[in-house]
A = this chain, B = another copy of it.
């Protein structure tokens, strides 16, 4: 009887362990996408208002958090995430990585004529389910769009909470 009781208690412990390990394996979220033009060279913007940069060329999208339609990553679960973006310019760019309507890191790069330049932002941030992360092109600025991964947006779940 005593042994049977122990056994049941063990069974419950093992179940708990299996659940949390399954959770760990389900918590795989990672993406990498590029803003991509089919033409050789071009400029994107300027616009009068802040604009979501829609990275249409999706290379990685484990867990399905990133949408090429909206350009936004939507957190599928609460946790701490890491994001980064790269923007190239031959002119004057001003961008920011956004959590909903809050800026996490800016990328400002005012280039001179005929010069190439880039700016890269990184942020580590805790998100609630449904929080949206996106890259904003600030009003009246532009960036340089080319064929290939010159302008990218990436992110991944670091740990669930």
Contact = CB atoms under 8 A, between A and B. Distances in A.
Interface of A: 3-4, 6-7, 10-11, 13-14, 17-18, 20-21, 24-25, 28, 30-32, 34, 59-60, 62, 80, 82, 84, 86, 88, 92, 94, 96, 103-112, 114-126, 148-150, 152, 154-156, 158-159, 161
A115 B97 CA distance: 21
A59 B59 CA distance: 29
A108 B126 contact: no
Interface of A, helix, strand, loop or mixed by DSSP: strand
Contacts of A123: 32, 59, 149, 152, 154
A32 B116 contact: no
